[in-house]
Structure 1
Amino acid sequence: MPKTVDRDEQRRQIGAAVLRLASEQGLDEVSVRTVAAASGRSPGAVQKYFRTKDEMLTFAAELAGERIEQRMAAVDTGLPPREALRALVLTTLPLDAERRAEAAAQLAFAGRAAHHPGLAAVRRQVDEDVRGALAHWLASAGHGSGPEPTADHLARADAVIALSDGLALRLLYAPDEQEALLRALDHALDALMAPACP
């Protein structure tokens, strides 16, 4: 009987290899050949799932975004709002080897997205999904005047994303400053969670 191949799982394994290569060596080293070697496949086997480097990169960027969203979804949003928001931000920061690899890959993708509309669209969609989820969470946590997100919720969500992105970048090139940067996170969250001015 022929062996059944889970196409989605194969693509995910190849995408994970792209993320590892991008984080360890940068996007310049990502090619069908190097991804094949990193994933234990032949170049022809990789090309069954991805015809080009850009297809691999787009899928890997989506995979990295999905992983972040899964970690965020696992946070107990029943915690006090300030504590829950801190936990949400921590899911995005490179505080362990896996998240460090993802953050390094995301940084590489961001640089490439400046010149590649397909990757830019993936990154914008991930940002929009995270922004919407954060704004809804802020509204449902009672931070504001009602259960539906307002312009204030969206602005705060944008600020949280900018804070997270900035801290992730700093933690990549200055991991020894983690303690000080996490204090900066706490200071920024205190300001973000302060009641809106009338």
Structure 2
Amino acid sequence: MPKKVDRQERRTLIADALMRVAAEQGLEAVSLRHVAAEAGVSAGMVQHYFRTKDEMMAFALAVVRERGQIRVTEAMARLGENPSPRLLLRTMIAALLPLDERTRDDGRVALAFLAYTAVRPAAAPTLREDTAQLTGFIASLLPPRNAVAAAAGLLALMEGLGVYLLGGQYTTEQALDALDAHLDLLFGSTTGA
């Protein structure tokens, strides 16, 4: 009897290989051949699961997004019931930032995908939808005056901090201090967090 293959498991194996290639060599090194070699499978197998590089990239981003959602869910669950909006936002953003080695690889892939979509807008619809949802959620937690614009600014701060963390310009402490200072501007002092 032939061995049953778990399609999702194989796709995830390939996506993980793509993320390692992108994290170590940059997105320009990502090709079906390089990803296959990293995954220890044939190029034909990669093409069986992903017809194009865009499909492979979109799946890898979905894996990164899912990992981020798990980190956020776990971090927010530790807050208990009824955390303040400020603490909720700080916890969510800190869970999404590449603050340690485990999250840096995901951060590199997410950043690489952002750059990829800048030159291939057709690959970006999911990213636009995610951004709109996240902006709406953040705006719902902010004081009502200019909440949508403030949410967009907070997302931009998060992305900028992520870039500086990945580039080594900021330490974890510097990034969290900058986040806290910005949240203080939006909510007042940290005594209410």
2:16 maps to: 16
1:179 maps to: 173
2:183 maps to 1:189: yes
Q: CA deviation at 1:90?
A: 0.6
> Matches of 1:151 and 1:73 in 2, distance apart?
28
1:79 maps to: 83
1:45 maps to: 45
Q: CA deviation at 1:176?
A: 5.5
Match of 2:136 among 132, 141, 154: 132
Compared CA separation, residues 176 and 133, structure 1 to 2 (3 A):
closer
2:100 maps to: 96
**Structure 2: gaps spanning 5 or more residues:** 189-193
Aligned sequence identity (%): 41
2:191 maps to: none
2:148 maps to 1:154: yes
> Matches of 2:89 and 2:57 in 1, distance apart?
30
Moved more, 79-88 or 29-38: 79-88
Q: Which has the larger helix fraction? A: 2
TM-score norm. by structure 1 comes to 0.83
**Structure 1: gaps spanning 5 or more residues:** 145-149
> Matches of 1:153 and 1:108 in 2, distance apart?
29
Q: CA deviation at 1:132?
A: 3.0
- The count of residues paired between Structure 1 and Structure 2 equals 185
TM-score norm. by structure 2 comes to 0.85
Paired residue type of 2:83: L
> Matches of 2:156 and 2:170 in 1, distance apart?
21
